[in-house]
Homo-oligomer: A and B are copies of this chain.
Amino acid sequence: MAKDKGPRRPRAETPKGFRDYFGAEVSERKAMLDTIAEVYHRYGFDALETSAVETVEALGKFLPDVDRPNEGVFAWQDEDQDWLALRYDLTAPLARVAAQYRNDLPTPYRRYAMGPVWRNEKPGPGRFRQFYQCDADTVGSASVAADAEICAMLSDVFETLGLGGDYVVRVNNRKVLNGVMEVAGVLDPADPEKFAHERGIVLRAIDKFDKFGEAGVRALIGKGRMDESGDFTKGAGLSDEQAAVIMRFVNANDAINQNLKSQSAVSSKLGSDFIETLSNAYDGGFTELFGRSAASALARNSATLAHLREIVGESGVGAEGVQELETIAELLAAQGYGPDRIVIDPSVVRGLGYYTGPVFEAELTFEILDEKGRKRQFGSVAGGGRYDDLVKRFTGQSVPATGVSIGVDRLLAALRAKGRVQGDGRGPVVVTVMDRDRMADYQAMATELRRAGIRAEVYLGNPKNFGNQLKYADKRNSPAAIIQGGDEAARGVVQVKDLYLGAKIAAEASHEEWKAQPAQTEVARADLVAEVRRILGQG
**Chain A residues at the B interface, C-beta cutoff of 8 Å:** 9-16, 18-23, 25-27, 30, 41-44, 46-55, 57-58, 60, 70, 74-76, 78, 80, 82, 84, 86, 96-97, 99-101, 106-108, 110, 116, 118, 129-130, 138, 140-143, 145-146, 148-149, 152, 282, 284-287, 290, 330-331, 334-336, 393-396, 427-428, 430, 439-441, 443-444, 447-448, 450-451, 453-458, 460-462, 472, 475-476, 525-526
Contact = CB atoms under 8 A, between A and B. Distances in A.
Contact of A396 (B9, B60, B395, B460): B9
Closest 6 CB pairs of A and B: A44-B457, A12-B99, A44-B428, A334-B440, A26-B47, A76-B76
Given A22-B47, A50-B20, A475-B106, A100 B12 contact: yes
A388 to B, nearest CB: 14
B48 A22 contact: yes
A454 B23 CA distance: 33
Contact of A460 (B21, B143, B393, B450): B143
Contact of A58 (B12, B19, B118, B428): B12
Copies in the complex: 2
Given A15-B84, A20-B50, A84-B74, A394 B455 contact: no
B525 A394 contact: no
Contacts of A146: 460
Contact of A455 (B25, B44, B78, B106): B44
Contacts of A12: 58, 96-97, 99-100, 394-395
Main SS of chain A's interface residues? mixed
A20 B49 contact: yes
A461 B108 contact: yes
Contact of A53 (B51, B74, B142, B395): B74
A100 B14 contact: yes
A46 B20 contact: no
Contacts of A448: 286
Contacts of A76: 70, 74-76
23 contacts: A9-B393, A9-B394, A10-B58, A10-B394, A20-B50, A22-B48, A23-B48, A27-B47, A41-B455, A42-B453, A43-B450, A43-B457, A51-B130, A53-B74, A53-B118, A106-B475, A138-B460, A143-B439, A145-B460, A148-B443, A149-B460, A290-B444, A331-B440
A336 B444 CA distance: 9
A10 B443 contact: no
B443 A145 contact: yes
Nearest to A115: B116
A461 B141 contact: yes
Contacts of A46: 22-23
A456 B44 contact: yes
A455 to B, nearest CB: 5
A321 B151 CA distance: 63
Contacts of A22: 46-48
A164 to B, nearest CB: 15
A337 to B, nearest CB: 10
A439 B328 CA distance: 11
A459 B441 CA distance: 61
B23 A444 contact: no
A331 B15 contact: no
Nearest to A110: B457
A41 to B, nearest CB: 6
Contacts of A54: 14-15
Contact of A145 (B13, B107, B439): B439
B44 A11 contact: no
Contacts of A75: 76
B443 A13 contact: no
A15 B55 contact: yes
B439 A51 contact: no
Nearest to A442: B145
Contacts of A440: 330-331, 334-335
